[in-house]
């Protein structure tokens, strides 16, 4: 990497890191601006407002996916995901003041939204959904698909417990090192290995 490149990219990455909500807002604003111009263009060409909006949305097909691609370009989203997950895990951890016994954990895990215990087929469905499912946002696998309260609870417990073996700290340090060395972290299998190990460790104890 050339030093001039870092002259531009380090301030950008620091900004993504420390002002990420502001950066997210700007990303939305930028796409919104484009969408509005596109709608205006459609209306000017004779479409109704509804049709123009439809056409504009079609043009930026899968808006969320586009945002995701734009986040990918920052090459730092894995770290912001990590920080977000960590904060979420801490918040969830703080709510659970009483340490859970394995029986409690099993019981809570198979509760529905209203706290009722689920039947066997529902348990099986949830168990099948519990597979490790990294989203496109995080190819590093920290940010997992979170479909229900049950999975949120589980994710919080997993994140909390993975701090214990020390793998999580090693992973975090390694990612920071990759960031400053300019290595694309998604190509580094070692992170997958560390996280998969932590995940297997947790899964075995559920």
Binding residues vs other proteins (CB under 8 A)? 4-5, 7-9, 12, 26, 29-31, 33-34, 36-38, 59-62, 65-66, 69-70, 72-75
Distance linking the first and last C-alpha atoms of the chain: 44
Q: How far is the CB of 191 from other proteins (least distance, A)?
A: 21
Nearest distance from C-beta of residue 43 to other proteins, angstroms: 14
Q: Which is nearer to other proteins, 33 or 132 (CB)?
A: 33
Smaller CB separation from other proteins, 97 or 181: 181
Minimum Å gap between C-beta 20 and other proteins is 14
Supply the minimum distance, in Å, between the C-beta of residue 30 and other proteins.
Answer: 5
- Whichever of 50 and 66 has its CB closer to other proteins, that residue is 66
Q: How far is CA 114 from the centre of its chain?
A: 26
Smallest gap from Cβ 5 to other proteins, in A, equals: 5
For the chain, give the secondary structure using H, E and C: CCHHHHHHHHHHHHHHHHCHHHHHHHHHHHHHHHHHHHHHHHHHCCCCHHHHHHHHHHHCCCHHHHHHHHHHHCCCHHHHHHHHHHHHHHHHHHHCCCCCCHHHHHHHHCECCCCCECCHHHHHHHHHHCCCCECCCCCCCCCECCCCHHHHHHHHHHHHHCCCCCHHHHHHHHHHHHHHHCCCHHHCHHHHHHHHHHHHHHHHCC
- 47 or 130: whose CB is closer to other proteins? 47
Q: In terms of CB distance, is 38 or 139 closer to other proteins? A: 38
> Of the two residues 60 and 146, which places its CB atom closer to other proteins in the complex?
60
Whether residue 82 contacts residue 142, with contact meaning beta carbons closer than 8 Å, is answered with yes
Smallest distance, other proteins to C-beta of residue 10, A: 10
CA distance 93 to 109: 15
């Amino acid at each position: 990497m050339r030093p001039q490149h870092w002259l531009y990219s380090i301030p950008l990455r620091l900004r993504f890191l420390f002002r990420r909500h502001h950066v997210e807002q700007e990303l939305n604003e930028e796409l919104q601006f484009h969408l509005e111009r596109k709608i205006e263009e459609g209306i000017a060409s004779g479409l109704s407002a509804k049709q123009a909006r439809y056409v504009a949305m079609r043009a930026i097909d899968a808006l969320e996916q586009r945002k995701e691609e734009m986040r990918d370009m920052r090459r730092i989203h894995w770290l912001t995901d990590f920080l977000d997950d960590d904060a979420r895990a801490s918040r969830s951890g703080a709510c659970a003041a009483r340490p859970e016994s394995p029986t409690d954990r099993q019981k809570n895990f198979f509760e529905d939204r209203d706290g009722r215990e689920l039947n066997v087929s529902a348990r099986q469905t949830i168990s099948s959904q519990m597979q490790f499912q990294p989203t496109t946002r995080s190819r590093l696998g920290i940010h997992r698909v979170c479909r229900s309260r049950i999975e949120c609870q589980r994710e919080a417990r997993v994140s909390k417990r993975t701090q214990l073996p020390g793998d999580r700290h090693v992973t975090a340090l390694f990612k920071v090192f990759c960031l400053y060395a300019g290595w694309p972290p998604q190509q580094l299998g070692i992170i997958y290995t560390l996280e998969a190990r932590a995940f297997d460790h947790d899964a075995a104890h559920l």
